[in-house]
Structure 1
């Protein structure tokens, strides 16, 4: 068990901290990267875990918050690279739980937003393994906020679309239909398909000068933001490389970034 002073500090902030029991699995959202965006329940999980099975993009500062008794196991997935099969991950979680480990499955963002948390929860339930899902801040929202792009803005949009782009335009997503909604689109896992997705959205009616952005390594020290237009987005991100984790944002909310930053500069507001 982790030193009680760490758990007592969490209890003082939250009230009685949740107890991670032997043989239980918590599917924990680690947020977009910055450890300051972890929830208190996520911190309590890290402090108590015997084993932490973590994704590829978990910030090392988050992993450093694990208790001294915790063993870290990598189970990452990266597009276009060798990855741990999902069935193997589920089987590993079940096996560790059955030998009585206090187990945390640590996932970037929120476990159930393009994170296969639902699949893993179903596998645990079928195996009669007790589990809990600890929500996390999804990168699709955190990245926008960190880039000063409001996800919703009165007079600009009344909805926002989250979509995975890891299959590119050849997948089963109707990009033209998404384009016709007129609402901002946030695309996860699509850095390798920027040009083809941009073309597919254009075929749906979005103009080449539609505001667009790519946010790389959101909330981390290495965060980079490329503000562009749909027609030239792929060209503008070439300099930063497509192998980095990033989100694509397409829609008029992108324009709000410059407006907010200009107002802040004129008012000499320190961010």
Structure 2
């Protein structure tokens, strides 16, 4: 086996919404594997925050302001990246939002917003990069899916609908463009320990775990939350030549939650 097949040297990777969190961790791994990092975020403040974080890690990333739900803006950004840096080899559709609202209390406008960011934007971004990938003869598209691509839960109707749709968009991009040596796969993170989920893991005044923390640990065979670093190896694999015959697959990085029915009460 040629371990160089895991190298991303000479590749240009665009990770959407990668100023921090999971997107940043994936970009960091890609940089370590040799890729040139390009990222965008919704405003200049977040882009500047991201650029500072990348610089602290010694990564020369290029950051741009772009609303990935705006098709015209995305087309313009892809053209700018191709002009300034080169053709995008790897696209990671990472940008996403969640609104935790009971379905009957959620407005159609709120539902559409989640669908727009979590499903329409990956369609728009993939559509923008595929023509140049076809011309180049190779490309990797990685969609950040979710366990909610498979499961439902209270208050996340829009998010689950979007992530379920993203799973099928992943399979359809594979179906349409696999013959052009384009691989489109998904990563489905489990519950990941990030600053956003920190309040759910805080110890209670009596020293016990937060109830949600207890719930996640009990449902996870690994008996822990995931870390952003847990996603780095799978993300590099799916972006590299090592996965050239892996297509239309969703790789769940969830500590085994989807395989487990849970402990008997």
Normalised-by-shorter TM-score class: 0.3 to 0.5
TM-score, normalised on structure 1? 0.36
Higher helix share: 2
